[in-house]
């Protein structure tokens, strides 16, 4: 919806701008929640940085997995590459994008590793994570809408892209599924924050988040118009992951319930 900005030879997309805004807001809010719990803000800052590394790695890795056919093609045609730069260029095409679920899983894994390594209060930090993730996501998805890096199905109710880097997204009226997801995440953030503030479901909010988001994401995928995210058994990559996370979170809540009753 909004064209990219060329700043000193670097392309700045609306998504990048909104992601930076989201990162700043959620980081400040996480530090605020940490301070309210009388915990060291420095631990939170390092935890966020460590999780950001996991988000970066996980997001690009899963994007590459969705391009599995290109990976196979690279393996069989490796000897035809004429230079190292050509090899790097092919890798850029395979792993150059990012998938939210990859970033989410990578960020959670790296975050859990840091929390355990530093012996932090996992209940507090897991719950804070559950609150700030949908807050960030609600802001970042607006960036997705403005950039057109992901887009909705063709619909007579919606918006028409002019500046998306993905040519197939342009000049077609499309349902604004990114804004719907953004609004859903904002509502999810409000609900989880209220539960957190009232001291309810301590240590379980992260699983509650995964349940509600994965359920919604499974449905949202049917309204996505982009088809480059990988498909398996008729479902997109994100739908397969949604099913796995939904089942996993339900099982974890049942286990925690049994442990608390012992």
Q: What pLDDT, in 10s, does the model give residues 132-169?
A: 999 999 999 999 988 888 888 998 888 888 877 777 78
pLDDT at 3 over 90: no
Alpha-carbon distance of 77 to 243, in angstroms, equals 35
- Among all chains, which residue has been given the structure tokens 């925690």? 256
pLDDT confidence bin for 230, thresholds 50/70/90:
low
Q: How far apart are the first and last CA of the chain?
A: 55
R_g over Cα of the chain: 20
Residue pair 236/223 in contact (Cβ under 8 Å)? The answer is no
What gap in Å lies between CA 90 and CA 100, rounded to an integer?
22
pLDDT at 164: 79
The CA dihedral of 158, 164, 170, 176, to the nearest 10 degrees, is -10
Helical packing angle, 237-261 and 100-117, nearest 10°: 30
Average pLDDT over residues 4-13: 74
Q: Which pLDDT score, from 0 to 100, does residue 168 have?
A: 78
Tokens of 192: 């989880």
Q: How far is CA 44 from CA 48, 118, 236, in A?
A: 6, 11, 34
Helices (H) and strands (E) in the chain, counts: 9, 6
Higher per-residue confidence, 240 vs 84: 240
What are the structural domain ranges in the chain?
A: 5-261
């Amino acid at each position: 919806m909004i064209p990219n900005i060329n700043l000193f030879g670097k392309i700045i997309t609306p998504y990048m701008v909104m992601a930076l805004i989201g990162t700043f807001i959620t980081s400040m809010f996480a530090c605020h929640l940490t301070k309210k719990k009388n915990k060291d803000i420095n631990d939170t800052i390092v935890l966020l940085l460590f999780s950001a590394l996991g988000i970066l790695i996980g997001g690009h890795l899963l994007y590459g997995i969705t391009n599995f056919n290109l990976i196979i093609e690279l393996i069989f045609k490796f000897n035809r590459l004429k230079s190292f730069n050509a090899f790097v260029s092919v890798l850029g095409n395979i792993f150059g994008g990012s998938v939210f679920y990859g970033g989410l899983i990578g960020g959670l894994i790296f975050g859990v590793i840091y929390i355990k390594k530093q012996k932090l209060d996992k209940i507090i930090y897991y719950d804070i994570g559950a609150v700030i993730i949908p807050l960030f996501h609600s802001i970042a998805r607006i960036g997705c809408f403005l950039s057109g890096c992901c887009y909705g199905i063709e619909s007579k109710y919606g918006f028409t892209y002019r500046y998306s880097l993905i040519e197939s997204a342009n000049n077609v009226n499309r349902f604004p599924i990114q804004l719907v997801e953004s609004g859903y995440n904002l509502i999810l953030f409000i609900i989880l924050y209220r539960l957190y503030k009232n001291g309810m479901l301590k240590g379980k909010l992260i699983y509650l988040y995964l349940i509600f988001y994965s359920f919604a994401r499974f449905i949202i995928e049917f309204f996505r118009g982009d088809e480059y995210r990988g498909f398996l058994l008729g479902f997109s990559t994100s739908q397969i992951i949604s099913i796995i996370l939904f089942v996993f979170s339900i099982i974890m809540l049942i286990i925690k319930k049994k442990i608390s009753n012992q």
